[in-house]
Structure 1
Amino acid sequence: MTTANDQPLSARHQSVPATRRQILAGTGTTVAGIAFTGSFSELFVGTAAARGHSGYGPLVPDPDALLDLPRGFHYRVLSREGDPLRSGEGSVPSNHDGMAALRGRRGRVHLVRNHENRHDGRIGVPTVDGLTYDPAAKGGCTTITLDGRGNVLDERVAVAGTAVNCAGGPTPWGTWLTCEENEDKAGTNGCTKDHGYIFEVDGADPLRTGAVPLTAMGRFQHEAIAVDPHSGIVYETEDAFQKPFGLFYRFLPEKPLGGTGSLRAGGHLEAMRVPGVPDLSAIQETGARFEGVEWVPVPDPQARQTPVRLQDFGPKGITHAQKLEGCYWGGSSVYFVSSFAHSKDGSAADHFGQVWKYEPQRRRLTLVIVFGPASDVQLPGESPDNICLAPDGGLMVCEDGSGAQHVYGLTKRGEVYALARNRQNTGTPDAPEWGEFAGVTFSPDAATMYVNCYAPGTTFAVTGPWR
């Protein structure tokens, strides 16, 4: 999720579709804009009805220079990297990434949070007996437990010894699947075990799930998942920013919807083939629709000799895409995000973000949205990342691009508004830098939005007049 985008800014802001543009009031002298094309209504099938609003007003500068929000909204810092964990297990790890708010007993909420730690000297997830997969790896998850009023009751390790835990997704039975965006094998970078797996995490009782890799779900650079609540099929994205690019997968479990631990029973992994489309970036027209999508068995899900995306899928090949990231289930469809595609990296064409919709019952794939920056290098519109459903039936989108970083709301009417801006400058006054947002999610009662700032690792709770 944090891969640097080193294409010159002047080049990255050319030839962008701009049939729809919203100009938003920003903070100070900054004006934010974003361009989209596509049918926004398709994104919200099966969600609550949108109220028709176009945002919550301009962002108000935060005197503490942490988080700018619209008037009437407030934030609390729940956790910051380097602070002691309440469990006494060590320090809060760095690189806060994907997250989910899981319903607990007696009104409690368990925030399960990923830490995308590499071998970079940042604060790793502490190793804990019964929760550690590979002591040499620094990634994992922590859990923040909140009471019914949103007060922090506990913060502890949920799984440790995993690598580059990027995103994941919740399950219908109330657990979190955390994904390793890494495929180091034992003996590489000091690892003692193979990596590239998904792990299930019980936010209320992490020892119940432990640190067991769900090997049948494949070994590759996982990003996010979404579970079909009707069939139990798990859809998986692969974040590969260099060629060969990643694939879009589905996992057919032997025990679908069987609750915690059922995914350990195994299943079958398949990859998506769109006939005649070897690279999704080649599709630039929103509304483009492809019938008869095929699913091809993965020859070697463990990638013992060859990475999955390089394996032989037969004479028809397989469909690739650069930077497959966010993934969620809505209505009767699964939606997934390609954050960007650059022809200089080997993609068939350039774009600054796509949202795709797959309808399992119809075996139909549709390009719903194309993202693109407007005209200024500080404007948003590139690299959409984590996404979630908002209380009003729209979406919240975490930005992971250049310049200022925002959480944006997208209404069902196709309007875009800024909901939050990261003010934590990790650069210098003359050359400011702001970390991406990640892990946006809402409490089970939809009264609180939780979101992470990746660096410096900070977890916020945002309350206000949600519609």
Structure 2
Amino acid sequence: MTHQHDAQRRRFIRSSTGVAALVIGTSLVNMSRPVQAQSLTHLGELQAPNDLGIRLPSGFSARIVAHAGARLIKDRWWRRTQYRWHTYADGGATFATADGGWIYVSNSETIGLLGGGASAIRFDAEGTVVDAYRILGGTNVNCAGGATPWHTWLSCEEIDFGRVYECDPYGERNAQPRPALGYFKHEAVAVDPNLGLLYLTEDEGDGRLYRYVPAGLNAQGDLNLESGTLQVAALAPGSDTEGYITWLDVPNPTPGLLQTPTRKQVPESTAFNGGEGIWYNDGSVYFTTKGDNRVWQLDTNLNHLQRVYDAATSDNPILTGVDNITVASGGELLVAEDGGDMQIVVIDSDGNLAPLLQIVGQDGSEITGPAFSPDGSRLYFSSQRGCAVFGGGNGFGITYEITGPFTEFMSI
């Protein structure tokens, strides 16, 4: 079946790296730097917890769109989808639909026997849930992932020798494994559409930052995820915080059980303390490392790495347990906490920090999967172990939607 989104006009150019790069419309990547409106760090103080236990700035509201094990109701009891939302929701992203609606995709960080994989919630143009369905099954501990410019979802297994699976958010095509992206404890992946490269994080205490160089394009004209070169980042000797990256080929990206793990195959490569979320925006990829509570920026054109936040040295260390990450229209980073104070924290281009929201009473949980609707007016995320029935943070997960004056802070 032909997707409506496949008809979007796009073309490829040859980048300076020698690989095909995707040029797409401004609905996906703003090719010029936006004019910045007021930063999301100026939303104001968080108010008292609402009836869902969420603290928000004035003018914002929240609702539950799904909770683990429950059917997602459409608009009448006789028109409900039979699909039950998955447990332990993790990384997520949104995708536009032809009718003006959108889809929110979410991973399930549990073993395949208990569900696992990834699922999707479909909304109409008014934001009403109209469908829910599975897009990936039979996989294990799917943590975060990443959206592609050609409208697929890359779901990452966070297990030893884990793989990446390419999924169709629209539910029309079967998910496909992408072993060329490597076997390791995957966390997340981001696509640089200008250079035609993928960047991947690894959730190990001595994990690596990887880059995948596709072998050209596939038959559909998208980046080839079946054949390419997996590389690992190496900073200059003596530097572990910033500097220029050298990319070194990984000799065996798909090691067997008794073979050398991917992260240990290139001794000169740089270790990162627990790679977590990663997101591309305007010529850079931003990623987090949980072991040292850092947020990093890699300029993908210059291959230069620097820290944009470090809890150990920050003048305002309100962000800990760094995990999933996304980017708002104005370029602000939104970082979700795994534990910490159960916040989503905004970091603006000047390095200012402010909490966007806080979940109260779910300290045993973590916030996962932050993603804006395509028009930037709604924010989706989950409390991975939130309990919708009895409250607290020892349940199987709740997925929320936040609405408010986000568009007043959008770039113009």
TM bracket, shorter-chain basis: 0.7 to 0.9
Distance in 2 separating the partners of 1:170 and 1:450: 15
**Residue number in structure 2 paired with 1:324:** 275
Change (3 A) 1:258 1:369: farther
TM-aligned CA deviation for residue 416 of structure 1: 1.9
Distance in 2 separating the partners of 1:49 and 1:434: 37
Alignment of 1:405-416 (within 5 A): 405-416=342-353
Distance in 1 separating the partners of 2:318 and 2:141: 26
**Residue number in structure 2 paired with 1:462:** 402
**Residue number in structure 1 paired with 2:88:** 95
Q: Say whether the 8 Å CA contact 2:145–2:156 is kept in structure 1.
A: yes
Distance in 2 separating the partners of 1:104 and 1:74: 24
Change (3 A) 1:142 1:48: farther
**Which 5+ residue runs of structure 1 have no aligned equivalent?**
1-44, 119-134, 184-194, 342-352, 426-432
Change (3 A) 1:416 1:161: same
Among 265, 268, 279, the residue aligned to 1:312: 265
Q: Does 1:390 align with 2:355?
A: no
Among 158, 161, 184, the residue aligned to 2:138: 161
Distance in 1 separating the partners of 2:179 and 2:139: 13
**Residue number in structure 2 paired with 1:12:** none
TM-score (norm 2): 0.80
Distance in 1 separating the partners of 2:126 and 2:229: 42
RMSD: 2.6
Q: Does 1:270 align with 2:231?
A: yes
TM-aligned CA deviation for residue 50 of structure 1: 4.1
**Residue number in structure 2 paired with 1:401:** 339
Matched to 1:105, the amino acid is: A
Alignment of 1:61-460 (within 5 A): 61-84=48-71, 87-89=81-83, 91-118=84-111, 136=113, 138-183=115-160, 196-205=162-171, 207-208=172-173, 210-241=174-205, 245-256=206-217, 263-277=224-238, 280=240, 283=241, 288=242, 290-291=243-244, 293-304=245-256, 305-309=258-262, 311-313=264-266, 317-341=268-292, 353-372=293-312, 380-402=318-340, 404-425=341-362, 433-456=363-386, 457-460=397-400
Matched to 1:78, the amino acid is: V
**Which 5+ residue runs of structure 2 have no aligned equivalent?**
1-31, 73-79, 387-396
Matched to 2:169, the amino acid is: G
Which region of structure 1 is more displaced relative to structure 2, 92-101 or 250-259?
250-259
TM-aligned CA deviation for residue 136 of structure 1: 4.4
Distance in 1 separating the partners of 2:157 and 2:188: 9
Q: Say whether the 8 Å CA contact 2:168–2:175 is kept in structure 1.
A: no
Structure ranking higher on relative contact order (CA contacts 8 Å, 6+ apart)? 1
Change (3 A) 1:250 1:257: farther
Change (3 A) 1:328 1:257: farther
TM-aligned CA deviation for residue 261 of structure 1: 7.4
TM-score (norm 1): 0.71
**Residue number in structure 2 paired with 1:23:** none
The number of equivalent residue pairs is 358
Q: Say whether the 8 Å CA contact 2:142–2:157 is kept in structure 1.
A: yes
Distance in 2 separating the partners of 1:53 and 1:109: 23
Provide, for residues 307-334 of structure 1, a one-character-per-residue CA deviation record: whole Å limited to 9, x for no partner: 5345432xx5221111111111122222
Q: Say whether the 8 Å CA contact 2:285–2:298 is kept in structure 1.
A: yes
Q: Percent of counterpart pairs with the same letter?
A: 30
Change (3 A) 1:46 1:294: same
Q: Say whether the 8 Å CA contact 2:287–2:296 is kept in structure 1.
A: yes
Change (3 A) 1:106 1:253: same
TM-aligned CA deviation for residue 142 of structure 1: 0.6
SS of alignment partner, residue 139 of structure 1: coil
Matched to 1:328, the amino acid is: W
